[in-house]
Amino acid sequence: MRRTEIYAGEVCAGYIGVYRERRNWKRRWRRRVLRSGALLLAAVLGAAALNYGAGSLAGRMRTAESAEQDFLVATGVQPVLLPATEMAAQAEEAARIEETLPGFPPGATLKEAGELLVVLDPGHGGADDGCVRDGVQEKEINLQIAQAVGRELQSMGYQVQMTRDTDQALSLEERVKLAETAQADLFVSIHQNASEVAKVTGMEVWYSAQNAGDQSRRLSRLIQTGILENTGADGREIREEETLYVIRECGMASCLVETGFLSNRAERQQLTDAGYQQQIAAGMAAGIDLYFHPKTMYLTFDDGPSKENTEKVLDTLKAHNMQATFFLIGENVEKYPEVARRIAAEGHTIGIHCNHHDYKEVYASVDAYLEDFSSAHAIIEEVTGVDARLFRFPGGSVNQYNKAVRQKIAAELESQGYVYYDWNASFEDAVREPREADIIESAVSSTLGRKNVVMLGHDVIEETAECLDQLLDQFPEYRMAPLTEDVTPVQF
């Protein structure tokens, strides 16, 4: 598909083929319903064809039905009457075919209970070749890659439905209706790109903010990451686009993937290679699998609350519909009780950090720590109503200040039913001059692909609050969850 605003140059010719196919589909439908009257069927279809050029599709069908009645009156031909049971069976079959679209053949099942269904949409088809370079047709590459993706997904246990599995024309509306009728969980449209500048290469993914916008964006990132990791291709933009019907009108998460540029000779050769197509397919399937089966990240924030920065963090989490864990400082809760109450009200987990964030004072002795801890707990419970059972040692459970007392503190608090949590990834934002780019890079690099990540950040840091929205977008492979007492703790 050529990258212009609407791709009109190489798409509009395909619409002729789309409408021809729809006309042929309606003809097949009539042939099956009236197969007991062959002469009548021929006349009806002839009348429909003569009137096809005028008006909308619905208007053309009404014209065909009127022609049918006119023919019966003029010729006196009567349709063969069938037994009631056979007529009922044919009516049921006709209704089923009416709801069935090309690419969703009669007998294909809808989503099975408890299964996940992915609809793959090889773009273009029939008279619509898509972009063509040196005899290589986009529609063929799209279908080959989609079939390879389908095989990968089926091997993973997913149900897969193709909008087309042959060189078949489909309208955009038919593609969307197929996915909706099938009750699909995902819709992925596969295309190739083209540019007037031959040196342009790379893959890009488009999504719509309509319907499942956030999930569509997440799906787009996962698919792009999977393909890039598998192929080494150049990564281009992930873009919101509202002019593309199939992703705008789908009710489920969806995206449109441009896997490469047929206008670039080297990339065109790769895209026609079955081995490279398989790499694309494996990467795309891996991204889809991560969409359904994400890893888990527990976002945790220490040292709050603060007024402006914690509020910004909460706003961002709310916009992403995410919950996190806040290890609070008692004296800060006293300063900003309304922020602490908001943390609790919005469903985040509250844990205890300390009352006074002074390492030498807090770790002076076991009794000093327990006294500080008790004060923090009392303040937090009074302000928020939360009897916090989770805690985090200031500086982590292993640091230069608590060597002599750490084990005794942990044993005492655990005997009282408290659980402490360290971390295995970090924003590294508690430095003298934090930079937003460094915070994001540290967060991404420190996860190391773990399936379960406890991420440390600080909601009192302005730069963290400012970059949190962008940072969260870096982790489409993770679901964000708050810590609970049931989560196996990460401890140094």
The residue written with tokens 């209704």 in the block is 95
Decide if pLDDT at 91 tops 70: no
Between 84 and 286, the higher pLDDT residue = 286
Structural domain including 273 reads: 117-292
131 with 240, same domain: the answer is yes
Over residues 19-36, the mean pLDDT reads 39
* Residues 248 and 336 placed together within one structural domain of the fold: no
Note the pLDDT tens digit of each residue in 285-294.
999 999 999 9
Least confident piece of the model among 102-116, 174-188, 382-396, 446-460: 102-116
Question: Which residue(s) pair with 274 in the sheet?
Answer: none
Q: Write the pLDDT tens digit of every residue in 164-221.
A: 999 999 999 999 999 999 999 999 999 999 999 999 999 999 999 998 989 999 999 9
Residues 323 and 407 in one domain: yes
More confident site: 76 or 343? 343
Indicate whether 463 pLDDT > 70. Answer: yes
- 429 with 319, same domain: the answer is yes
343 touches 317 (CB < 8 A)? no
Q: Determine the pLDDT at residue 1.
A: 54
Residue 110 lies in a domain: no
Residue with tokens 């969409």: 291
> Amino acid letter at 64?
A
Same domain, 469 and 321: yes
CB atoms within 10 A of CB 116: 20
pLDDT at 37 over 70: no
Domain boundary among 258, 277, 292: 292
What confidence tier does 113 reach under pLDDT thresholds 50, 70, 90? confident
What's the structural domain count of the chain? 3
Comparing 64 with 248, the larger pLDDT belongs to 248
Q: For residue 488, is it within any domain?
A: no
Share of the chain above pLDDT 70, in %: 78
Do residues 172 and 25 share a domain? no
Asked if the structure places residue 414 within a domain, the reply is yes
| Mean pLDDT value of segment 315-319 | 97
pLDDT in tens, 374-385: 999 999 999 999
What integer is the mean pLDDT of 428-447? 96
Q: Looking at residue 125, what is its pLDDT?
A: 97
Residue 490 within a domain = no
pLDDT tier for residue 108 given thresholds of 50, 70 and 90: low
pLDDT band for position 88 (cuts 50, 70, 90): low
pLDDT at 48 over 50: no
Q: 52-66, 100-114, 312-326, 417-431: which range is least confident on average?
A: 52-66
In this structure, are 226 and 267 located in the same domain? yes
* Nearest-angstrom CA–CA distance, 94 and 90: 6
Q: Are residues 371 and 456 in the same domain?
A: yes
Average pLDDT, the chain: 84
Question: Both 129 and 237 in a single domain?
Answer: yes
Q: What's CA 66's distance to the chain center, in Å?
A: 47
Could you read off the pLDDT of 120-158 as tens digits, one per residue? 999 999 999 999 999 999 999 999 999 999 999 999 999
- pLDDT attached to residue 104: 46
Same domain? 333 vs 450: yes
- Is residue 82 assigned to a domain? yes
Per residue in 335-361, pLDDT (tens digit) is 999 999 999 999 999 999 999 999 999
b/e map 233-248, b = 16+ CB within 10 Å: beebebeeeeebebbb
> What's the CATH code of the domain at 254?
3.40.630.40
Q: Are residues 178 and 198 in the same domain?
A: yes
- Quick count: other Cβ atoms within 10 Å of Cβ 56? 8
Distances 450 to 442, 444, 475 between C-alpha atoms, Å: 15, 11, 12
Q: Say whether pLDDT at 13 is over 80.
A: no
- Better-predicted residue by pLDDT, 219 or 87: 219
Domain co-membership, 351 together with 241: no
- The mean pLDDT value for 406-425 works out to 97
Residue 354 lies in a domain: yes
Last residue of a domain, which of 243, 270, 292? 292
Residue 449: CA count within 13 A, CB half-sphere: 1
> 103: alpha, beta or left, given left = phi > 0 and alpha = psi -120 to 50?
left
pTM of the model: 0.74
Question: What pLDDT is attached to residue 42?
Answer: 41
